[in-house]
Chain A
Amino acid sequence: MGIEIKIFGQLADIIGSDELQLQDIDDTSSLREKLISDFPKLANYPFVVAVGKKIVNGNQKLNADDVVALLPPFAGG
């Protein structure tokens, strides 16, 4: 299963792109593990995962058409 991930702010600097496609990711916990294994620097930066524009608390199953985003701490205002 391929999912598309939008990447924002500092996380895009670390990953080197503002978009990423990943295969065989079942849920948001495995997404987090996969990202940290591919980009070890991410372990030092707090971020949340949003699915369908809602922040995920805990773990959530991912489907192929989900809109997934990685969000660093907010800085509005």
Chain B
Amino acid sequence: MSEKKRHKVFVNGAILPNFIAESIAKHSSKKNIGAHDIFLGQIRNDIIDGKTVQAIEYSAYEEMAEEKFHEIREKAFASFNLSCMHIYHSLGRVKAGEISLFVFVSSQHRTDAFDACRFIVEEIKAKVPIFGKEIFEDETYSWKINTD
């Protein structure tokens, strides 16, 4: 029943709400699923040294990142009882208020969905070589570092 095929994780620019809605709709035919969990990472307008972040420009070591995403998928399927899993991450510029990460896991029951979703998000933040430039309103920038 597991859907383990690889799809491309990176998308150019923001992940659009319509795309997320369509992804949910596609699962209505999989009637063994009882629980979906979704994580959406949104760009925050942090204020750093008095300047407001208006966008993050993402870049990545793409070849290594795709490999890491694959490892995370394999680990999640091995550790939790999942029907399917989708991960999308932005590259390029994503404005404050827009979505840059979409993790979507489906299971028969909620516990596996909750636990897997958190596991995947934490793994992505810690292990995937993605880099982010926080761009301020005057187009100057600083480099983002993941914290808790």
Interface residues of chain A, those whose CB is within 8 Å of chain B, are 6, 8-10, 13, 50, 53, 69, 71-77
Contact = CB atoms under 8 A, between A and B. Distances in A.
B89 interface: yes
Interface of B: 41, 56, 58-61, 63-64, 67, 89, 100-101, 121, 124-133, 143-146
A6 B67 CA distance: 17
8 contacts: A9-B133, A10-B131, A10-B143, A53-B63, A72-B143, A75-B131, A76-B125, A76-B132
B118 to A, nearest CB: 12
A53 B143 CA distance: 22
A73 B143 CA distance: 9
Q: Which 4 A-B pairs have the closest CB atoms?
A: A76-B130, A9-B131, A75-B132, A75-B144
